[in-house]
């Protein structure tokens, strides 16, 4: 196993997280402070890049930074109970469900309104009428 070093741009490419966000994650404490070259450049090794990939995958699934921090600490804890991970994921699914439900409610209401609107050159518009309703 070589411990070849990456600078932040290479780590970004290898992990799929922008250099910008890597610095940000470090600043907010999601990542430990990277080691530096003499001239101050951040350096990353394979393990660091592995962690970055973990973060990206978590982010792609919509986990918040706080949740990702929890996932990372579970990941590092070799004695974690898998129930904790499952619970975290399940809670996130619930959050997703809630958001999806909200968006779906908006969508169906809007779809209903749109289907009522002629959509021609005349000014009459049930969409505006409904938005203007006092209900």
Instruction: For residue 36, give the 3-state DSSP assignment.
Output: strand
Q: How far is the CB of 121 from a copy of itself (least distance, A)?
A: 4
Q: Which of residues 77-106 bind a copy of itself (CB under 8 A)?
A: 77-83, 85-87, 89-90, 92-93, 96-97, 99-100, 103-104, 106
Q: Which is nearer to DNA, 32 or 123 (CB)?
A: 32
CA–CA distance, 98 with 77 (Å, rounded to integer): 30
Q: How wide is the angle at C-alpha 1 spanned by C-alphas 57 and 36, nearest 5°?
A: 70
Could you tell me which stretch among 1-9, 19-27, 31-39, 72-80 binds a copy of itself (CB under 8 A)? Answer: 72-80
Contact segment (CB under 7 A) with DNA among 35-43, 46-54, 80-88, 104-112 equals 35-43
Q: Which segment (61-69, 91-99, 114-122, 125-133) binds DNA by CB under 7 A? A: 61-69
User: Does residue 3 interact with a copy of itself by CB under 8 A?
Assistant: no
45 binds DNA (CB under 7 A): no
Bridge partners (DSSP) listed for residue 6? 44
Beta carbons within 8 Å of 126's beta carbon, 6+ residues apart: 113, 116, 117
CB 15 within 8 A of CB 49: yes
Which stretches of the chain bind DNA, using CB under 7 A? 7-10, 12, 18-21, 23-24, 34, 37-42, 59, 64-66
């Amino acid at each position: 196993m070589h411990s070849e070093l990456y600078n932040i741009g290479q780590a970004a490419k290898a992990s799929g997280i922008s250099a910008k966000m890597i610095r940000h994650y470090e600043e907010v404490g999601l990542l430990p402070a990277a080691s530096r070259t003499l001239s101050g450049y951040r350096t990353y090794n394979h393990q660091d890049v592995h962690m970055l990939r973990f973060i990206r995958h978590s982010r792609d699934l919509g986990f918040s930074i706080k949740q990702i921090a929890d996932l990372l600490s579970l990941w590092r804890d070799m004695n974690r109970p898998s129930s904790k991970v499952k619970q975290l994921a399940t809670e996130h699914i619930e959050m997703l469900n809630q958001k999806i439900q909200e968006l779906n409610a908006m969508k169906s209401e809007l779809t209903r309104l749109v289907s009522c609107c002629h959509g021609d050159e005349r000014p009459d518009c049930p969409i505006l009428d409904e938005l203007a309703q006092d209900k």
